[in-house]
Amino acid sequence: MSILAAFMVPHPPMIVPEIGRGSEEQIRETTAAYEKIAAETAALCPDTILITSPHTVMYADYFHISPGRKAKGSFSDFRAPQVKFAEEYDEALADEISAAAALAGLPAGTLGERDSRLDHGTMVPLYFIRKQYQGGKIVRIGLSGLPYTEHYQLGELIRASVEKLGRRAVFIASGDLSHKLQSYGPYGFAEEGPQYDARIMDVMGRAAFGELFDFDEAFCDRAAECGHRSFVIMAGAFDGQAVRTETLSHQDVTGVGYGIVSFFPEGPDEDRHFLQTYLAEAEKKLAEARERSDPYVRLARRSLESYVRDHRMMPVPGSIPGAEELLTTRAGAFVSIHKHGKLRGCIGTIAPVQTSLAKEIIENAVSAAVHDPRFDPITPDELQWLEINVDVLGEAEEISSSDQLDVKKYGVIVSSGGRRGLLLPDLDGVDTVEQQIRIAKQKAGIGQWEPVKLQRFEVVRHV
């Protein structure tokens, strides 16, 4: 047995009549689609209902699988405490997924539960399903801040675990679409909002799961999407399989996108190993980029790889063909590392602290790889997937007003007393001076309303 069907669904609390109190009529089309997928779920009589939700426990670098035998929840947070749920977990399947993840080196498991109550991303789909089907245990899985590739891999492991235990399972990928579709919506309007909705509904309607990797993180952030990673996990559960789809609904009446699509497997298809294809193409592009990289980036990569592989700090070279100035000049420098489009480490110096720029880059590359407190140290198996750039900082100059900043041209340094924060220029997702200053203040632990001294600087970015 395996995963019998999957459904991409939203989770607007207002769709529950006890919460909506009449306003649910605005999304009647979504309700009708929900009722259809509930009927299809009931007809399949699954042993287990797998639910991925953006609103259960979520970590930046770990997939949380809800532990224990049972869980309860209600819509008390939405003024409907009378709508209650009492669900039994499929403990054996949760444990099997955790074990499979451990063997694969994927950070997932049942540790770190902060709140055992069922979340609304789980309860809204269950509200409809339980009206028509009372059987089946559940497995509840949270998303993470890890790259899409790891989400897809988790989906593959979920399916393998389901098959190993002989479960009949239905997969519910819970997630709203963009929250920026209308000016009256909860987050206002952004042009990326409607673009995201149109694109994701097209991709999911065609089951073109390989295209899920192509959604840029900054674009998704600007669209304020909710469920993308949930959909990617579900896609991974159908890796190597032909899939029949039906787009049941898509509504945009509240400023938030609600889409429902059904997916039914139709047998093996060797042309649909999307992660394998994506990684092969990514590896080729990275190899080409490494060949094109300049001496600054090559030096950073050599330093990083030397330390990660051999735990050895490389010495400063006697000569650096094509960039001898690295040995004769001093400057602050930042080394930034990305993996599959996600930041993996970034450490730098505002002003020079080493005897040469070469030494500055060597030291900062190692620090970015293994000492950035936001991330676990980089491991040898990750090296082939890393993108590295080096920003060499010009001298900082004091400015009297934020009007003298330009997020594309200048980085900013904010300072108040002994606290100081820096943000580089031309970063994805940082589109205004206000954003730039706010983030720099956050990094320095400076309150948003505290006055600060401003400095700006230019950088030369090496790739």
Residues 6+ away with beta carbon under 8 Å from 373: none
Write out pLDDT tens, residues 406-447.
Answer: 999 999 999 999 999 999 999 888 999 999 999 999 999 999
Task: Return the HEC string of the chain.
Answer: CCEEEEEEECCCHHHCHHHHCCHHHHHHHHHHHHHHHHHHHHHHCCCEEEEEECCCCCECCCEEECCCCEEEEEEHHHCEEEEEEEEEECHHHHHHHHHHHHHHCCCEECCCCCCCCCCHHHHHHHHHHHHHCCCCEEEEEECECCCHHHHHHHHHHHHHHHHHHCCCEEEEEECCCECCECCCCCCCECCHHHHHHHHHHHHHHCCCHHHHHHCCHHHHHHHCECCHHHHHHHHHCCCCEEEEEEEEEEECCCCCCEEEEEEEEEEECHHHCHHHHHHHHHHHHHHHHHHHCCHHHHHHHHHHHHHHHHCCCCCCCCCCCCCCHHHHCCCCEEEEEEECCEEEEEEECCCCCCCCHHHHHHHHHHHHHHCCCCCCCCCHHHHHHEEEEEEEECCCEEECCHHHCCCCCEEEEEEECCEEEEECCCCCCCCCHHHHHHHHHHHHCCCCCCCCEEEEEEEEEEC
**What architecture is domain 293-387?**
2-Layer Sandwich (3.30)
Residues 6+ away with beta carbon under 8 Å from 152: 209, 212, 213, 232, 233, 235, 236, 239, 274, 275
Q: Is it true that 3-272 and 293-387 share their CATH fold?
A: no
With a cut of 80, say whether residue 1 has pLDDT above it.
Answer: no
Binning pLDDT at 50, 70 and 90, where does residue 186 land? confident
Q: Say what the pLDDT of residue 296 is.
A: 98
Write out pLDDT tens, residues 348-402.
Answer: 999 999 999 999 999 999 999 999 999 999 999 999 999 999 999 999 999 999 9
- Calculate what percentage of the chain has a pLDDT beyond 90: 96
Mean pLDDT to the nearest integer, 196-223: 96
394-463 maps to which CATH number?
3.30.1490.150
Q: Say what the pLDDT of residue 341 is.
A: 87
With a cut of 80, say whether residue 113 has pLDDT above it.
Answer: yes
Binning pLDDT at 50, 70 and 90, where does residue 185 land? confident
**What architecture is domain 3-272?**
3-Layer(aba) Sandwich (3.40)
Write out pLDDT tens, residues 55-109.
Answer: 999 999 999 999 999 999 999 999 999 999 999 999 999 999 999 999 999 999 9
Q: Domain ranges in the chain?
A: 3-272, 293-387, 394-463
Write out pLDDT tens, residues 31-59.
Answer: 999 999 999 999 999 999 999 999 999 99
